[in-house]
A and B are shown apart, each in its own frame.
Chain A
């Protein structure tokens, strides 16, 4: 069974204080690892997909990295508008068609001005 564990559950940072969020996973054949951002009262919003160990992707103050067992979401010099819950999910390579995403429970990030 696919499993995703995210840590920490919650993180409070001062504006400009860089940090990293962790996503550990187990899956039988990884097709992709996904990062989403979720704001209160909204659906998850897609950030990145990583497909193979060693891959990195960046978007503004966010950078996602992937190893064979975990992924990190690095946040550099965050701003209050980066406050949100960040979700990690894995997709297994099983069927030819689309496969479900298995999500972690998320990290609730708060950036204090």
Chain B
């Protein structure tokens, strides 16, 4: 079991550019969660999917953020256009029932 795989590990981009973060959940897990972590606000849920269907996207900051889960083994989080305040660590987690497994995160820096 390779765990939850996120890419890239680090991303540095200029303000206004499009950023795409990727996540491969654990095989057999039917729920996928995108979290954002900052020093000030800790871990915040952005969006989560059950069986590839978005269930709650109330944490998505604004229309610049979008997420997709085209199949059970892949999800993307896109920011367009990116802004410096989007700088954070973005985590993906997957779950089958009660156990949540997190990926190693993508550290995003927008300059």
Contacts and interface: CB of A to CB of B under 8 A. Distances in A.
Interface stretch (B12-20, B68-76, B78-86, B90-98): B90-98
Contacts of A95: 55
Nearest to B103: A43
Interface residues of B, number: 27
Given A46-B99, A97-B50, A98-B97, A104 B31 contact: no
Q: Is the interface of B mostly helix, strand, loop or mixed?
A: strand
A45 B3 CA distance: 11
B104 interface: yes
Given A42-B104, A43-B91, A43-B105, A101 B99 contact: no
Interface of B: 4, 30-31, 33, 35, 41-45, 48, 50-51, 55-56, 91, 93, 95, 97-105
